[in-house]
Amino acid sequence: MPFFRPRLFDKVAKAAGPLAFIDESFQAPNQNSDSFYLITAAVIPKDKVLEVRKQLRILARGSSWHTTEAARSEKGRLQIQQLTSYLARNSKPVVVVIDQIPDSDRNAEAARAQAIRALLIELSQQHMYLTGTVVYEKRIPGYMQTHDEMIFKSIASGNSDASRLNVIGLSTKKEPLLWAPDIICWAFRQAYLGRNQNYFDELSKVASVIHLGHTEQKSTQSH
């Protein structure tokens, strides 16, 4: 089974040092006044990437995965525990948190831009080579995908260390390596909202968490 589409495989094969796979979770002001934005990276050493990909597929027992859906069953929650334990041993989780989004940022798009920029700077300065590779899942075509392209273009043309990172967008929900940040982000969200600390327990021992806003007690309401 191919790692990525051939063109993307070529880029990943040439990656220098660890690779980072990113995903997000948020509650926008137009959904709940108790808003926040989380963006997570699973940083994986290059020599472990293919093995981690293989093991994630085995542990997820299928060709697709979404942690929120898995958490609805006892079997799925057990799988999540196994997956978080595996990722705690085989990746470096990096989480950027915006604790409160201004009401004016109704759909949290400005928060997304701020969080992505902070995450990429953190990755470039602390966890990856300056020319390292970051992989994210593309959003739906239209405004959201265009906005993401503008965010990454702005970072690439800037003066921060993150400007030299190689950023790749994938239009798929079936890439196992993108399940890693989805799992980590979901686990962190459970702990962050005070729902269940256990899922993030092992990950917390190896994770870097950066808060960009004022920490407040969060409600457990969510979409």
Contact 147, 168 (CB under 8 A): no
Q: What is the pLDDT of residue 130?
A: 84
Residue 159, domain member (yes or no): yes
Residue 221, domain member (yes or no): no
Helix (H, G, I), strand (E, B) or coil at 20: strand
Residue 68, domain member (yes or no): yes
**Nearest CA to 91 among 39, 136, 56, 131?**
56
Q: Number of folded domains in the chain?
A: 1
Contact 139, 149 (CB under 8 A): no
DSSP 156-190: HTSSSGGGG-EEEEE--S--HHHHHHHHHHHHHHH
Cβ-count burial 95-119 (b if 16+ within 10 Å, e if not): bbbbbbbeeebeebbbbbbbbbbbb
Q: What is the pLDDT of residue 156?
A: 95
DSSP 80-118: HHHHHHHHHHH-EEEEEEES---TT-TTSHHHHHHHHHH
Q: What is the pLDDT of residue 12?
A: 65
Residue 83, domain member (yes or no): yes
Residue 56, domain member (yes or no): yes
Domain that holds residue 18: 6-211
Q: What is the pLDDT of residue 152?
A: 96
Q: What is the pLDDT of residues 101-119, one digit of tens each?
A: 999 999 999 999 999 999 9
Contact 177, 23 (CB under 8 A): no
pLDDT tens string, the chain, 223 residues long: the values are: 344 444 556 666 677 789 999 999 999 999 998 999 999 999 999 989 989 999 999 999 988 999 999 999 999 999 999 999 999 999 999 999 999 999 999 999 999 999 999 999 999 999 998 889 999 999 988 999 999 999 999 999 999 999 999 999 998 888 999 999 999 999 999 999 999 999 999 999 999 999 996 434 343 333 3
Residue 1, domain member (yes or no): no
Residue 205, domain member (yes or no): yes
Residue 222, domain member (yes or no): no
Q: Who contacts 16 (Cβ-Cβ below 8 Å, separation ≥6)? A: 129, 131, 132, 133
Q: What is the CATH number of the domain that holds 205?
A: 3.30.420.10
For the record, the structure tokens of 96 come out as 């950027």
Q: What is the pLDDT of residue 215?
A: 37
